[in-house]
Amino acid sequence: MNPTEPVPAPPVDLFGLVRETIADVLGTTPDVIVESTDLRAEYGIDSLEMMSIGAQLERTLGVQISVEDLMRADTVGEAVTLLAERRAGRS
């Protein structure tokens, strides 16, 4: 390895990061958040809570995502897919 080459960053456990962020905002434990979790139906999440989750994820991942986009995701798994696409540069 050439010492001037940047060392690639380790891959992010995107689902784990999203779980931890949601659990932090909702005051629960990450293990209760699964891919099929519907935050609106199961936790009554509102737009302010979603803004908090989105802001934390934007800072951590370095991507922009609107609350509206996150609110359109019906499940946590769909939100993770959306964030993965944003990280890959696709909208």
pLDDT digits (tens, 9 = 90+) for 51-77: 999 999 999 998 888 888 888 899 999
Number of neighbours of residue 50 by Cβ within 10 angstroms: 22
Residue 20 CA, distance from chain mean position: 9
Measure the CA–CA gap between 59 and 41, rounded to whole angstroms: 27
pLDDT at position 37 is 96
pTM: 0.80
Residue range 28-45, pLDDT digits in tens: 999 999 999 999 999 999
Cα–Cα dist 82/79, whole Å? 5
- pLDDT score of 8 more than 70: no
- CA–CA distance from 6 to each of 9, 43, 61 (Å)? 9, 42, 19
